[in-house]
Amino acid sequence: MRTADPPHAVTVEIPPVLAARRAGRRFGEHVALHPTTLEIADGEVIALLGPNGAGKSTLLALLAGGLEPTWGEIECRPGIRVGWTPQRPAHYGRLSPRENLELFAELEDEPDPSAAASSLLAEFELPDTRRASSSLSVGNRQRLNLAISMLGDPDVLLLDEPTASLDPPQRRRLWQSAVRQKERGGSVLFATQNHEELEGHADRVAVLVEGVLQFVGPFDEYERSGAVLLA
Amino acid sequence: MKRVLLLVQKDLRLLRRAPVLLATLVAYPIVITALVGLVAGYANAKPRVALVDEAGLPPTIVVGGERFDVAKTIRRVSKNVTLVRLSQADAHRQLRNGKVVAVVTVPHGFLSDLRGMLRSPQLELRTGRGGVSARVTQQVQALVYSLNRQLQSAFIRVNLDYVNALKNGATITFLGRKIDILGLERAERLLERLPPSRDRDQVLGFVHDARLALAQTDSAIRATANPIELVQVSERGRTWALSAQVQAYTLALTITFLTLILAAGALAAERDENVIGRLVRGLVGFGQLVAAKIALASVVALALGAAIAVAFGAIIEIGGIEGGEPWDRLPLLLLGVLLAGASLGALGALLGGLTREARTASLVALLVVLPIVFLGLVPSEIVPIAAWISDAFPFAHAVRLFGAALFDASPWGAVLREALWLGGLLVGFGLLARMAARRLVA
């Protein structure tokens, strides 16, 4: 793995907000992610790049706690809340968007689940009807998926190809949310295959190929290095 | 606990939004119960039996002076079996190909043996293979028993006529010949007229003793012919359809189907909906997830069990049927239903965890539930191994618990024993389900 030198040599004493320590995952005989180390610092936005089947979703799921690592461990700073948007929408198809949001808000111990749901419905422009989520458009389902991950006011957002089904205005709004998250000191790790999304959004880039982390470094270093060819 | 309740509420809401699924899940076991009832009722159905009449039975026969209505006897037999008159060749062909389950042959010489009353006339019974043949044999034995009972009075009367002839003297016909019999009474009088001697006194003593002995013959012969008599008294109890056994089976079968499939499908559906990852990343533990499915199964079992128990109770009340205490025992029954639902829910959750996919889980649960139910229906006295296997699953314990709770005069021993079984199975299957649930995120 090639690791670029940071632009300014600063010794960081603060532990990462979330980190994978030689964490890996095997599904049966197939190794989806070889032991991988990746740290996410406060206020940092990291782009996770890699072709299909590279292990991006597996790494995000491990960091989110949705999967248990076969090897290594996931470290999370105590008291940190993590929001996770899986690549495939993860909500109950026969519940309405509001019912989904209220249910997950209660599970996230939101003090006012109904108010939290109303706020997210407005923010993500989701229909507040009794319609089942399964009958929503693909884009709306993805927005609901994103909205659920915003519940509980997370300190770290893990987004798995979040813009895949969004139209351009929705993409803009998503990146605005990511910027707001960064501005208030939160961190974002997003997986993408779209190189255009890196510029202006990512502080660092990590490249995964066939379950192996091939590159981790600042965006400009990524551009200079040959890692761009790998992703 | 709050999280478990939230998941149960969510599952109940999802269930309410799938009314066709819910109606099918409720109706299906009731239909299965009815079908099982029909199969059980087949024990009372009429198998097809061939009658080969080589003797040329007339409509009536006179035996020992008594007239027997042959046609009426055949009609009576036809209540239990469908009797079809066939030639010998046809009957045997149909027995071989299974169109009749048995052939009863009335052979040549049957009538002459019957009328002669010296040799037992013989009926020949030929049965095929299979479960029904034993029942047909029993029914034909019952027919022969019934015929013998009708004939025995004629045979007794003829025999008593011979005895009376020996006692009192008479002219009788034996093997077509007329015979004059002196009789013991007249012989005694003749002997008394002879000059006294030691020989005369000895013969006189024997004749006297023989007369006394023969005087007892009447009742002795009747008692010998019928050593034990069965007196049948009809009781105004429950019909078969409302019997304790059927009610307990209906309840157990319905909740077994429903809870097993529901719990298996509901757990696996968390993966199908792709929410399992969201849930287990700190919001809900695997144990809580399994507990939620067990609780869902219990709640649904309780609602359905209560509805069935109330329906049975109402029918019994309206019909004025005696036996059982449908209302007094309802709380105990519902506690049993709750426990059985939980135990079955744990088994369902285990299947859901192992199969990982709602459709596969439901199909596997359906495939698993049928053998479990049928194993529980096999009487343990007949196939002990079936009972042992059945003990490892909640269905048989649920049946016994419901039966005891509803109808035993002192139910506590049986209820406690079965409740302990169900509790043990709940813990065992629950722990296994918790382990299996981890497969959902694999």
* Same domain, yes or no: B335 and B435: yes
Q: What is the pLDDT of residue B341?
A: 95
Residues of B (8-27) whose Cβ lies below 8 Å from A: 10, 13-14, 17-18
A99/B13 Cβ within 8 A: yes
* Same domain, yes or no: B260 and B140: no
Most confident of A209-213, B241-245, B382-386: A209-213
* Same domain, yes or no: B362 and B435: yes
The residue with greater pLDDT, A24 or B83, is A24
Is B135 part of any domain? yes
* Same domain, yes or no: B264 and B127: no
Q: What is the pLDDT of residue B105?
A: 87
The Cα A188–Cα A82 span in angstroms is 10
pLDDT more than 70, % of chain B: 87
State yes or no: pLDDT of A216 exceeds 90. no
For residue B278, which residues of chain A lie inside 8 Å, CB to CB?
66, 84, 86, 90, 104, 148
**Digit-coded pLDDT (tens) for A57-93:** 999 999 998 888 999 999 988 888 898 999 888 999 9
User: What is the separation of C-alpha A171 from the centre of its chain, rounded to a whole number of angstroms?
Assistant: 15
**Digit-coded pLDDT (tens) for B194-225:** 888 888 888 888 888 888 888 877 777 777 76
**Digit-coded pLDDT (tens) for B261-293:** 999 999 999 998 889 888 888 888 899 999 999
Query: Do the interacting molecules here have an ipTM over 0.90?
Result: no
* Same domain, yes or no: B115 and B52: yes
State yes or no: pLDDT of A25 exceeds 90. yes
* Same domain, yes or no: B321 and B280: yes
Is B397 part of any domain? yes
* Same domain, yes or no: B119 and B84: yes
Cβ-defined contacts of B162-165 (< 8 Å, 24+): B163/B214, B163/B217, B163/B218, B163/B221
The Cα A5–Cα A26 span in angstroms is 31
- Would you say the pTM of this structure is higher than 0.80? no
State yes or no: pLDDT of B242 exceeds 70. no
The Cα B200–Cα B189 span in angstroms is 12
Task: Nearest chain A residue to B266 by CA: give it.
Answer: A92
Is B172 part of any domain? no
Q: What is the pLDDT of residue B265?
A: 92
The Cα B129–Cα B101 span in angstroms is 8
* Same domain, yes or no: B306 and B418: yes
The Cα B56–Cα A228 span in angstroms is 105
B273/A92 Cβ within 8 A: yes
Is B217 part of any domain? no
**Digit-coded pLDDT (tens) for B295-341:** 999 999 999 888 888 887 777 777 666 655 667 788 888 999 999 99
Q: What is the pLDDT of residue A33?
A: 93
- β-pairing, A204-209 with A212-218? antiparallel
* Same domain, yes or no: B271 and B318: yes
- Lowest average pLDDT, out of A180-189, B110-119, B419-428, goes to B110-119
Is B182 part of any domain? no
* Same domain, yes or no: B255 and B344: yes
Is B178 part of any domain? no
Neighbours of B224 (CB within 10 A): 10
B10/A91 Cβ within 8 A: no
The Cα A24–Cα B438 span in angstroms is 17
Q: Which of B156, B184, B202 is the last residue of a domain?
A: B156
A178: helix, strand or coil: helix
- Total domain count for chain B? 2
| Alpha-helix runs per DSSP H in B273-393 | 276-280, 286-319, 330-355, 358-377, 384-391
State yes or no: pLDDT of A12 exceeds 80. no
pLDDT more than 70, % of chain A: 92
State yes or no: pLDDT of B430 exceeds 90. yes
Q: Which of B156, B184, B216 is the last residue of a domain?
A: B156
Residues of B (227-286) whose Cβ lies below 8 Å from A: 273-284
- Lowest average pLDDT, out of A127-141, B189-203, B310-324, B349-363, goes to B310-324
pLDDT more than 90, % of chain B: 21
**Digit-coded pLDDT (tens) for B38-51:** 665 555 567 788 88
Nearest CA to A82 out of A153, A173, A2 is that of: A153
**Digit-coded pLDDT (tens) for B150-188:** 777 777 777 788 788 888 888 877 667 788 888 888 888
Q: Which of B104, B121, B156 is the last residue of a domain?
A: B156
* Same domain, yes or no: B285 and B427: yes
Most confident of A135-144, B129-138, B166-175, B225-234: A135-144
**Digit-coded pLDDT (tens) for A165-196:** 778 888 887 788 778 888 888 899 999 887 77
Is B332 part of any domain? yes
Contact between A166 and A150 (Cβ < 8 Å): no
Average pLDDT value for chain B: 82
SS3 content of chain A, % helix, strand, coil (to 5): 30, 25, 40
Average pLDDT value for chain A: 85
Query: For residue A208, which phi and psi values (nearest 5 degrees)?
Result: -110, 130
Is B226 part of any domain? no
Most confident of B103-112, B151-160, B187-196, B420-429: B420-429
The Cα B359–Cα B401 span in angstroms is 32
Give which of A103, A149, A158 to mutate to test B binding, by max B Cβ within 10 Å: A103
pLDDT band for position B345 (cuts 50, 70, 90)? very high
**Residues of the domain holding B117:** 46-156
The residue with greater pLDDT, B324 or A223, is A223
Q: What is the pLDDT of residue B292?
A: 95
Taking the CA of residue B348 and the nearest CA in chain A, the distance in Å comes to 21
State yes or no: pLDDT of B230 exceeds 60. no
CATH number at residue B56: 3.40.1710.10
* Same domain, yes or no: B33 and B117: no
Q: What is the pLDDT of residue B226?
A: 64
B275/A90 Cβ within 8 A: yes
